[in-house]
Amino acid sequence: MDLRKSIKTMNKIIFVTGIPGAGKSTFLRRKYFDRGQYFVMDMAEESLRKFGSLSPLKDEDYGEQRLSIINGFGDKGLFALFDGKDLVIEHNVVGEDWDEFFDLLQKAKRLGFYTEWIHLHVEDETAKQRIQMAGDGYYVSESLMYDVLMVLEGILEDYELNVQLEEIASIKGPRGIIQLFEKQSESVPVFFFTEEHSHYSGFKSAEIFQEEDAVKPMVLFNNLKEALEAIFDQYELKKVSILTVKDRFKAIVEETFNGKMDVPYWEEFLN
């Protein structure tokens, strides 16, 4: 199948995580320097760029300067996604509460974004030495960590308001559930599919990730038949169980899969 017929590869939201001093900012500058392809959400860098210091981020009363950084990232991040750029999030791991982080990973996946998670490993002592050497040029806090997640949540909510998304079928694949979606923006429908548990790439060191991409990007397809054929090719399906399918898409699902594989309970879903 010629994937060049597809509109483009799916937007990515890339999470770079690690404890304070893990080297996230350095990794971001080296890996995601192309501002035509990536929008990097690094609050410390933005504070230095706009105000020449990290003082606004230390404002516990959330004064005008700190709010301008937060609000600015919300607007710029949303526009970057609609411009086709990949969004890169620097996230400091402070404490043990990962619930909100994982919730946003799942939300991004449901909205049709391809998500990658890169966790930078470093020994605690090495991280502490780096922070000490940086002196006043380094700042991190638990509140700043939640600021980043709050901005991303706002970006995803605004994006959801501007894009129509509908799950049109779910298929039991060899490793989990394959979900097929129709996504409509500016009256142009496109199709994509995701697989259960494919929303993050797992833990990888920076060195490994620089050598090879963690996973292949998802693709937006011009029509449903192309997406269905890609599912068939990618998973080399010989037998598939259709769990759900919307009525208005049943005919094309039957046309695409008919004769290619054994489909249990075919009549139940396509009549």
- Statement to judge: residues 182 and 142 lie in one domain: no
Rounded to whole angstroms, the Cα distance separating 215 from 161 reads 28
**Are residues 55 and 110 both part of a single domain?**
yes
State yes or no: pLDDT of 201 exceeds 70: no
User: Model-level pTM greater than 0.85?
Assistant: no
* C-alpha span between 248 and 147 (Å, rounded): 42
User: For residue 263, what pLDDT band results from cuts at 50, 70 and 90?
Assistant: low
Burial letters 162-184, b for 16+ CB under 10 A, else e: eeeeeebbbbbbeeeebbbbbbe
pLDDT band of residue 241 (cuts 50, 70, 90) is confident
Backbone phi, psi, residue 98, to 5°:
-105, 0
Supply the pLDDT for residue 172.
80
Lowest mean pLDDT segment, chosen from 14-18, 130-134, 196-200, 251-255: 196-200
Residue 171, domain member (yes or no): yes
Position 218 scores a pLDDT of: 61
Instruction: List, for residues 13-33, the tens digit of each pLDDT value.
Output: 999 988 888 888 889 889 998
Identify which has the larger pLDDT, 155 or 208: 155
Instruction: With respect to residue 136, please indicate whether it lies within any of the assigned structural domains.
Output: yes
Same domain as 157, residue 177 = no
Q: What DSSP letter does each residue of 134-154 carry, written as one string?
A: HGGG----HHHHHHHHHHHHH
- 143 and 230 both lie in a single domain: no
Helix H or strand E segment including 182: strand 177-185
173 shares a domain with 135: no
Using CA atoms, how far residue 132 sits from 45, 126, 140, in Å, is 19, 10, 13
Residues 131 and 238 in one domain: no
Quick one: 96 and 174 in the same domain? no
Query: So what's the pLDDT on residue 203?
Result: 39
Q: Tell me the residue range of the domain where 243 lies.
A: 164-196+216-270
pLDDT digits (tens, 9 = 90+) for 169-199: 888 877 778 888 888 766 678 888 877 654 4
What's the mean pLDDT in 125-153?
81
Give, rounded to a whole angstrom, the gap between the first and last alpha carbons of the chain: 29
In this prediction, residue 202 carries a pLDDT of 40
> Which pLDDT score is estimated for 130?
85
pLDDT per residue as tens digits for the range 46-69: 888 899 988 898 888 999 999 999
**Domain-located, residue 38:** yes
Q: How many domains are contained in the chain?
A: 2
Q: CA nearest 31: which of 15, 52, 8?
A: 15
Q: Which residue has the tokens 């500016």?
A: 186
Q: What is the mean pLDDT of the chain?
A: 78
What pLDDT shows up at residue 32?
A: 92
| Number of residues assigned to the chain | 271
Q: Residue type for 148, please?
A: V
**What local confidence, expressed as pLDDT, does residue 269 receive?**
52
CA distance 181 to 112: 8
Final residue belonging to a domain, choices 118, 145, 162: 162
Residues ≥6 apart with Cβ < 8 Å to 3:
219, 230
**CATH number (domain holding residue 138):** 3.40.50.300
- φ, ψ of residue 111 to 5 degrees: the values are -85, 0
Identify whether 208 is part of a domain: no
Report the distance separating Cα 244 and Cα 250, nearest Å: 10
